[in-house]
Amino acid sequence: MRTLTLISCALLPLALAAQTVQSPDGNLILNFSLSGQGEPTYELSYKGKPVVKPSRLGLELAKDKHASKQMDETSLMQGFVVANTTTSTFDETWQPVWGETKDIRNHYNELAVDLHQPKEQRNMVLRFRVYDDGMGFRYEFPQQKELNYFIIKEERSQFAMAGDHTAWWLPGDYDTQEQETQETKLSGIRSRFNQAVNWSNSSVSVFSPTGVQTSLQMKTDDGLYINLHEAACVDYATMHLDLNDTTMMFESHLTPDATGMKGYMQTPCQSPWRTIIVSDDARDMLASNLILNLNEPCKIEDTSWIHPTKYVGVWWEMIVGKRNWHYTNDFPSVKLDTEYWKTATPHGNHGATTANVKKYIDFAAANGIDQVLVEGWNVGWEDWANMWKRDVFDFVTPYPDFDLDELNRYAQARGVKLMMHHETSSSTQNYERHLDAAFNLMNRYGYDAVKTGYVGDIIPRGDHHYSQSTNNHYQYVIEQAAKHRIMVNAHEATRPTGLCRTWPNMVGNESARGTEYEAFGGSRPDHTLILPFTRLQGGPMDYTPGILETQLNTWSENPNTIHTTLVGQLALYLTMYSPLQMAADLPENYAKYADAFQFIKDVPCDWQDSRYLEAEPARYITVARKDKKSDDWYVGGKCNEDGHKSVLKLDFLDKGRSYEATFYVDAPDASYDKNPKAYKIFKRKVKAGDTLRLTQAPGGGFAVSLKAK
């Protein structure tokens, strides 16, 4: 059902000093006004409590050397009068191609403020949309005689917090998001900052000791949950937040390009939406669709080729260090345009060999896994990121021991597809040059999904991962891929902002610290209890769960252990929503835990409904999801190092119906650090109204499948 109701569009008095708009349920109240200097100002409250205290909005423009040639320079920060305001209501229910629910309601009250700078004869619109679960606003720049091109020196959107909230934050960085999340008061950011930076990442560019990334999750002392992020970041730089830790005022801080500037704009255009999700119930934060709703509807006409996907891959054994991406040690460095590969001596430990890939294909075919990712299949891995090397990969030339033709034939004969891998080494220039040939090769062999990667510093040199220009590159790849009917899962790309609504072939992103860090030293047990509140607000993450052999030294020389119990890994398939789910461990490890692996085989990755049953950032998340293709439900719970006892009312099940429930639970003595692989599996019949009492071990969780009878 798709309804659209434009209830009112009232013209209001000119030069109105202040204007108010409420959420449909009346809990959120937004006030807009102009200061005496004509500065746009807003404030937001929730059930009478301040969420954002009066805060300024505007953009600082840059002087350009071509100033004489029509480039506007006066900032869009003050000297405004209100020319007009318009309020309206919108209520629509739409269906995502894939998602947590099959229907999404988009219901908001809108205030559009037409601002005018009389001296410069320029116009700008501030558009506010107030939902029951938060609000968004953006800047719009209509085409007009006196504002055609301008350069953003900085966006000056303020978010004045009402107190010294608890925050779950990552250090603001132009090039990486792969840090461990910090939990401090806002006033504690500065002193924690330096140790929060992931200095060993392949590309690091911090900018302020109180600069943090979005999505930023906070909790007030009186129990309000507030999340700041953005939606629909298209042809615009990714936003960070810089905190004045005296006033507790955040201000937007955009990612610069190589010139140091933040945005090159041509009207008509607009900023992304700046989003504030707010509730007094943490579960609402996870159930919110505000960011998807603020994105444009799907632009792909025929979406029949886009599908949720479960996959395995030749990957974890390289991450753990047992095999290599590269093929030979013969050369101190390599170039693409050589005959190296024909004569090179293999070092004998290459992961992407024809024989090894066949093992994964057989495993996928035997277990109903859709696809097999293969990393390190193409020449160039001998030396790649962080040499400032532009022509690093060609994305079409396999290593001599990888039989592209035979492997695709072998896979397809078994009902399995290979998944393509394009590590760009952040040389976006090189990737764009090879993109069409690379996608044509995928079409020729029948690949329909690619995992892309952006490790290392961006080339064109001097640019950053999250700048307007690099964001434009990611978007260019998504749109080119759509033309080739290819799904994209971009790693190390900018954090998502809900663009998967518009381009549902963007089925995944990394953009945070993934499971790989468990092999690099570990992530805290609460890490996956924060990500759904932060990183996942903008779109799904290819977190690559399912490491059932949590002790890596049982099969490799890697001394690290996974910071969850084995059952905790199963729970992640539910608590970390994604339409793309990897079973990341090795086939031989799954063979050791075949009964637990059954859950990974069973769990869908597309849903008709989702209910968050319990949630607290960094503490616990419990969710029930209904399979999109059946009446079966799945319930998963995950907790931090403190363990958690869940009491769950099964009131979401169909009334009068019986369900065969299979429980995957931590054993009573299980714990992520001392006894991670102690689990129990048992079956029981349940029905609507029943109550489940489940105990999660420290760093543990549970997973339940409920098959409708």
Kind of pairing between the strands at 81-94 and 104-117: antiparallel
Site pattern 414..453 for a second copy (x: CB under 8 A): ---------------x--xx--x-----------------
Distance separating alpha carbons of residues 131 and 679, to the nearest angstrom: 42
Between CA 453 and CA 460, with CA 457 as vertex, the angle to 5 degrees is 100
Binding flag, residue 121, a second copy (CB under 8 A) = no
Which of 114, 317, 463, 585 touches a second copy (CB under 8 A)?
A: 463
Q: Closest CB to a second copy among 436 and 595?
A: 436
Q: In degrees to the nearest 10, what's the CA dihedral of 242, 247, 249, 251?
A: -40
DSSP-based three-state secondary structure for 163? coil
Binding flag, residue 92, a second copy (CB under 8 A) = no
Tell whether omega for the bond before 268 is within 30 degrees of 0, i.e. cis. yes
Binding flag, residue 151, a second copy (CB under 8 A) = yes
Q: Closest CB to a second copy among 93 and 266?
A: 266
Which of 476, 520, 555, 652 touches a second copy (CB under 8 A)?
A: 476
Amino acid letter at 163? G
Q: Closest CB to a second copy among 259 and 354?
A: 259
DSSP-based three-state secondary structure for 468? helix
CB 252 within 8 A of CB 137: no
Q: Tell me, by CB under 8 A, how many residues bind a second copy.
A: 40
Binding flag, residue 630, a second copy (CB under 8 A) = no
Which of 95, 121, 144, 247 touches a second copy (CB under 8 A)?
A: 144
Residues whose CB is less than 8 angstroms from the CB of residue 541 and which lie 6 or more positions away in sequence, other chains included: 508, 509, 510, 511, 512, 514, 531, 535, 576, 578
Binding flag, residue 309, a second copy (CB under 8 A) = no
Q: Closest CB to a second copy among 90 and 149?
A: 149
Phi-psi region of 584 (alpha: psi -120 to 50; beta: other; left: phi over 0): alpha
Distance separating alpha carbons of residues 471 and 494, to the nearest angstrom: 7
Binding flag, residue 72, a second copy (CB under 8 A) = no
User: Half-sphere exposure (CA, 13 Å, Cβ side) for 402?
Assistant: 22
Which of 469, 589, 662, 675 touches a second copy (CB under 8 A)?
A: 469
Binding flag, residue 631, a second copy (CB under 8 A) = no
Q: Closest CB to a second copy among 200 and 246?
A: 200
Footprint (CB under 8 A) of a second copy, residues 319-378? 331-333, 335
Which of 13, 36, 48, 69 touches a second copy (CB under 8 A)?
A: 69
- Residue 149 Cβ, how far from a second copy at the closest point, in Å? 4
Query: What stretch of H or E contains 640?
Result: none
* Buried-exposed string 165-195: b where 16+ CB fall within 10 A, e elsewhere: bbbbbbbbbbbbbbbbbbbbbbebbeeebee
Among this protein's residues, is 516 annotated catalytic?
A: yes
Site pattern 387..406 for a second copy (x: CB under 8 A): xxxx----------------
Which of 43, 110, 132, 257 touches a second copy (CB under 8 A)?
A: 257
- Residue 405 Cβ, how far from a second copy at the closest point, in Å? 24
- Residue 460 Cβ, how far from a second copy at the closest point, in Å? 4
Binding flag, residue 492, a second copy (CB under 8 A) = no
Site pattern 264..303 for a second copy (x: CB under 8 A): x-xx------------------------------------
Q: Closest CB to a second copy among 150 and 702?
A: 150
Which of 472, 558, 598, 608 touches a second copy (CB under 8 A)?
A: 472
CB 471 within 8 A of CB 494: yes
Kindly name the residue from 382, 516, 549, 641 that is annotated as catalytic. 516
What would the two tokens of residue 168 be?
């779950």
CB 513 within 8 A of CB 523: yes
What would the two tokens of residue 293 be?
């709703």
Tell whether omega for the bond before 215 is within 30 degrees of 0, i.e. cis. yes
Task: Tell the burial category of 84 from Cβ atoms under 10 Å away from its Cβ (0-12, 13-18, 19+).
Answer: middle
Distance separating alpha carbons of residues 150 and 263, to the nearest angstrom: 8
Which of 47, 54, 71, 163 touches a second copy (CB under 8 A)?
A: 71
Which of 149, 445, 520, 555 touches a second copy (CB under 8 A)?
A: 149
- Residue 153 Cβ, how far from a second copy at the closest point, in Å? 13
Residues whose CB is less than 8 angstroms from the CB of residue 646 and which lie 6 or more positions away in sequence, other chains included: 613, 614, 620, 622, 637, 692, 693, 694, 695, 696, 702
Binding flag, residue 145, a second copy (CB under 8 A) = yes
- Residue 493 Cβ, how far from a second copy at the closest point, in Å? 18
Residues of this chain that bind a second copy (CB under 8 A): 64, 66, 69-71, 143-145, 148-149, 151, 257-259, 261, 264, 266-267, 331-333, 335, 383, 386-390, 429, 432-433, 436, 457, 460-463, 469, 472, 476
Residues recognised as catalytic? 516
